[in-house]
């Protein structure tokens, strides 16, 4: 789905240069759920914008479903293929009624009204927002707004969705709503997910985790493989899931417990075996 080859990106003005990404190589398979983590300024958001064609690489090549993001004639097709969801849903919602907002993308594609109606209904159903289709977005909660923003992308029939910290401004209830929606789209609809986040409890839902530090991929693997590196992640200023940290501390105290625990359920099972 996404093929990133030797990609670098430098922000440059008349006053300064700042290298955001440095020789990144990354392949993301169709239907894969990939989480990207790293502290602020590591290059996560730059990577997201490069995949969507908002930015163009200074060096290297990015192919989205075989389409080169540097080809200006293909950019609209690329953005239909890889939809982007931003941190603040208010920056992405453009209409005064939910169903009109979801219809915005398909209308710009020049689709027939019957097709637009079908896509709006289907997209709202996919994110569990059908009952709110006649509501003004400003009356919705943060989590509901973000689900409307995702529905607007789904109406474009993307093969991939890139989410740039979509839960950062939400409360725990809203975060859970959005994550359940993302996970369902991946598992049931087969949509490729690239999820950028700093909430480690969201990362454990992914198939693969990419850790970026100073514009480079430092660690990648399954959540269990990545979160085994507790000391290394903490040295980079990153958190790990609380139960993983607890297991790590118990192992340091000499207790024979697994080093790849990610959930409370796994921790309970391990402790019960010890008892």
Each residue's pLDDT tens digit in the chain (275 positions)?
A: 999 999 999 998 877 888 899 989 999 999 999 999 998 888 999 999 999 899 999 999 999 999 999 998 998 889 889 989 888 888 888 889 999 999 998 888 888 999 999 999 999 988 888 999 999 999 998 889 988 999 998 888 889 999 998 888 888 888 888 899 889 889 988 999 999 998 888 999 999 999 999 999 999 999 999 998 888 998 888 888 889 999 899 888 888 888 888 989 989 988 888 88
Q: Is the distance from CB of 137 to CB of 96 less than 8 angstroms?
A: yes
Phi first, then psi: what are they for 55, rounded to 5°? -115, 155
Q: What is the CA radius of gyration of the chain?
A: 20
pTM for the structure as a whole: 0.88
Q: HSE on the CB side for 60, CA within 13 Å?
A: 21
What are 162's strand-pairing partners? 84, 194
Q: Which domains does the chain have, with CATH numbers?
A: 2-229 (3.40.50.300), 241-275 (no CATH)
What are 212's strand-pairing partners? 217
Region class of 110: left (phi > 0), else alpha (psi between -120 and 50), else beta: left
Q: Which residue has the tokens 């907002």?
A: 101
Residue 126's SS3 state is helix
Instruction: Name the pairing type of β-strands 208-213 and 2-12.
Output: unpaired
């Amino acid at each position: 789905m996404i093929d990133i080859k030797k990609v670098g990106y430098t922000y440059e003005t008349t006053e300064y240069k700042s290298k955001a990404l440095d020789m990144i190589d990354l392949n993301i398979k169709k239907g894969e759920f990939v989480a990207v983590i790293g502290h602020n300024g590591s290059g996560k958001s730059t990577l997201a914008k490069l995949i969507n064609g908002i930015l163009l690489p200074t060096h290297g090549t990015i192919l989205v479903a075989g389409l080169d993001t540097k080809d200006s004639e293909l950019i609209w097709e690329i953005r239909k293929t890889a939809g982007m969801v931003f941190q603040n849903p208010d920056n992405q919602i453009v209409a005064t009624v939910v169903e009109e907002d979801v219809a915005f993308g398909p209308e710009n594609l020049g689709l027939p009204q019957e097709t637009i109606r079908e896509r709006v209904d289907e997209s709202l159903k996919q994110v569990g927002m059908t009952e709110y289709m006649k509501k003004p977005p400003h009356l919705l909660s943060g989590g509901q707004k973000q689900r409307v923003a995702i529905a607007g992308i789904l109406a474009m029939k993307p093969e991939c969705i890139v989410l740039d910290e979509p839960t950062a401004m939400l409360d725990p209830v809203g975060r859970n709503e959005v994550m359940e929606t993302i996970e369902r789209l991946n598992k049931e609809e087969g949509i490729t997910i690239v999820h950028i986040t700093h909430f480690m409890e969201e990362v454990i839902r992914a198939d693969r985790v990419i850790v970026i530090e100073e514009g480079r991929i430092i660690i990648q693997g399954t959540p269990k493989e990545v979160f085994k590196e507790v000391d290394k992640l903490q040295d980079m200023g990153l958190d790990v899931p609380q139960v993983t940290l607890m297991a790590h501390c118990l192992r340091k105290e000499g207790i024979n417990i697994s080093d790849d625990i990610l959930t409370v359920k796994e921790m309970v099972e391990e402790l019960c075996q010890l008892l």
